[in-house]
Amino acid sequence: MSNISPWKKDFPIFVPQAHPYLCYLDTAATCLTPKHVAEAMFHYQCYSHANSHKGMYQLSMTATEKVEQAREKIASFIGAQQAQSIVFNSGATEGVNLVAYSFVEPLIIEAMSKGERCNIVISAAEHHANLLPWQRLTQQYNIELRIAPLAIDGTIDLARLSLLLDDQTCILAFTHCSNVIGKINAVDKICQLAKNKNIPTLIDGAQAVLRGDINVKAIDCDFYVFSAHKIYGPTGCGVLYAKPHLIEQMRPYQLGGGMINTVDFQQSEYLGGPLKFESGSHNVAGIVGLVEAIDYMNDLSIKDINLYIDDLALYMHKSLRELSFYRPVVDEKLSLMNNKMTSLVSFQCEGIQCQDIANLLDSENVALRAGQHCAQPLHKVLGVNETLRVSLGLYNGYADIDKLIAGLIHCHQVMAMESLA
């Protein structure tokens, strides 16, 4: 493998006029944008922009076609059988909120009207996006929010999760891959556990989608959410996958133009299918960008990208473990033995504040995250107040890892000298 990624040249942010020395290690927050995506969006916005699903003239109909073709493309990308199970929105956050208020809240109200109780189950590893909507619902209806604990390696503990699921659980919502721990959960087994008890499942795929090997049919989840910007697409665009019969059963989340059959002052009839959840105007440029991002990854070969990133991840973990002051947040031994290290790792450096490290590294053009990464309760569970997080993208190479390690060693030396002074 070369020191520099063969695909780095596709990312204009590294050109001499922009940030040629940038060592970007915060892909989990957002992926950098390949020129293919930026150009496709620019081209659409400049030369063929119109409002979709509204006008009967060529430009508008072309925009409509782009959105509907995108549904097909995304369905096939995540292994969904029908394009009608793909709902466009602004991102994973909106997807979770949609399911909370369009699907789960009516279930709670129905159960309560029959004098039954409900509970909601999530895991201890959730991003706030997959915690706060459930927290509000459970507070509002005074029902229980149950938290599934993690196993020693940081994945969801299946045995203990199983004990929390019962016939009053109205949703099991959990992450495919935590944005702090970086390990892939056994989503198919977890969904099977829930299915055995007739419990609907929602998976937060925000961090897992980057690997491009999602198959919602095989996983057999009811809902799956992700954001375009976590897969080399633009911000402000995301996808909710829902099983088609659930789409028909659910009530719309936001109301407005573009989602109705008929409207009267007193009564309205909503459209069926995903359009029911896409009131207002589509983010067509964002959807075009997402499609281009998927095409870009497919053209490079998702398999090759994953092989490349896996190798890089292994190098990163091995290099970090050589630092005497490196303190990972979860036990890595087992994963290292199996070569099952993911491209995201959170850790502390003994004796140095994470924020101080991030600031010093920033001055050396190394961009990484310090803090709680929108997962405060998880940090409490892990017994740390903050962490440093490194996450890789296909533009990274060995040289970036070497720069990180040199930067960390430098920080350690500076801090050691300061403590002596």
Ligand X SMILES: Cc1ncc(COP(=O)(O)O)c(C=O)c1O
Cα 308 to chain center, whole Å?
A: 21
Cβ nearer to ligand X, comparing 127 with 317: 127
140-160 b/e with 16+ CB inside 10 Å = b? ebebeebbbebeeebbbbeee
123 touches ligand X (CB under 6 A): no
In the shown chain, the binding pattern of residues 263 to 302 toward ligand X, with x for contact by CB under 6 A and - for none, equals ----------------------------------------
26 touches ligand X (CB under 6 A): no
227 touches ligand X (CB under 6 A): yes
In the shown chain, the binding pattern of residues 128 to 157 toward ligand X, with x for contact by CB under 6 A and - for none, equals -xx---------------------------
The half-sphere exposure of 239 on its side-chain side, counting CA atoms within 13 A, is: 34
CB of 27 to ligand X, least distance (A): 11
127 touches ligand X (CB under 6 A): yes
372 touches ligand X (CB under 6 A): no
CB of 417 to ligand X, least distance (A): 35
For residue 36, give the nearest of 239, 288, 207, 235 by alpha carbon.
288
Please say if 374 is a catalytic residue.
yes
Residue choice 40, 74, 87, 92 for contact with ligand X (CB under 6 A): 92
Backbone angles phi, psi at 312, to 5 degrees: -65, -40
Strand partners, 260: 270
Cβ nearer to ligand X, comparing 203 with 408: 203
Stretch that binds ligand X, among 142-150, 202-210, 349-357, 386-394 (CB under 6 A): 202-210
Strand partners, 345: 390
Annotated catalytic residue, options 23, 191, 374, 411: 374
Cβ nearer to ligand X, comparing 105 with 204: 204
12-44 b/e with 16+ CB inside 10 Å = b? ebbeeeebeebbbbbbbbbbbbbebbbebbeeb
CB of 365 to ligand X, least distance (A): 23
One-letter identity of residue 273:
G
CB of 54 to ligand X, least distance (A): 26
124 touches ligand X (CB under 6 A): no
175 touches ligand X (CB under 6 A): yes
CB of 47 to ligand X, least distance (A): 28
Active site residues: 374
The contact set with ligand X (CB under 6 A) reads 91-93, 127, 129-130, 175, 179, 204, 206-207, 227
